[in-house]
Amino acid sequence: MTMRHRNTLSRDYFVELYAVSNDPWNFSASDYERQKYDVTLAAIGSGHRRALEIGCSIGVFTRLLAERCSQLVAIDIADGALRQARQRCADQPHVEFRRLALPGAMPSGQFDLVVLSEVGYYWTLSDLDRFAGWSVGALTPCGVCTLVHWTGETDFPLTGDQVRRGAKMADTVGAAQA
């Protein structure tokens, strides 16, 4: 049986991961990641004016997503990851990188696309609720929030299925309030 974290994972958790490895999840070479990127890009389409990528890590997906957006705000919690992402996307002036610890700090402005890929299960349900509440006001009227999460067992506070169910409930509440 896996022992689950009870709290949202801290910035230190991710800083330590990147101190040990430049690519702790093998984003740049993994077949799983490549397939996930392809499926995600097919689902979101193109022509987005202002997009937000939460948990950009070393910028592998960021670079692909940037081709579909006029403006992209890419955020991560770890400076080591952001350094690599900035280098990988140095020729993409429409990509802005920020270090933020979501959902405690949320970016301002509105987005027509928000991508939360393999991040939500690092949060508690109350933090996921906070994110979902923020997203209701941060998405443009036709905006889309795309959630991508592995659904296998983890030791994180939430599973991918719990993220999906929690976000779906929040979406229903947001739609009822709109």
Please give the span between the terminal C-alpha atoms of the chain, in angstroms, as a whole number. 41
Tally of domains within the chain: 1
The pLDDT value given to residue 6: 86
Mapped onto helix, strand or coil, the DSSP state of residue 11 is helix
pLDDT value of position 175: 38
Query: What local confidence, expressed as pLDDT, does residue 43 receive?
Result: 93
> Cβ neighbours of residue 82 under 8 Å, at least 6 residues apart?
56, 76, 97, 99
64 falls within a domain:
yes
Which residue range is the domain that position 90 belongs to? 43-177
Give every residue of the chain whose pLDDT is below 50, as ranges: 1, 169-170, 172-178
136 domain-assigned: yes
In-domain check, residue 19: no
Distance (Å, whole) CA 30 – CA 85? 17
The enclosing domain of 70 has a CATH number of 3.40.50.150
- Tell me whether residue 153 is in a domain: yes
What integer pLDDT is reported at residue 155 of this predicted model? 86
Give the pTM: 0.89
Q: Residue 98 domain-assigned? A: yes
pLDDT of 92 reads 97
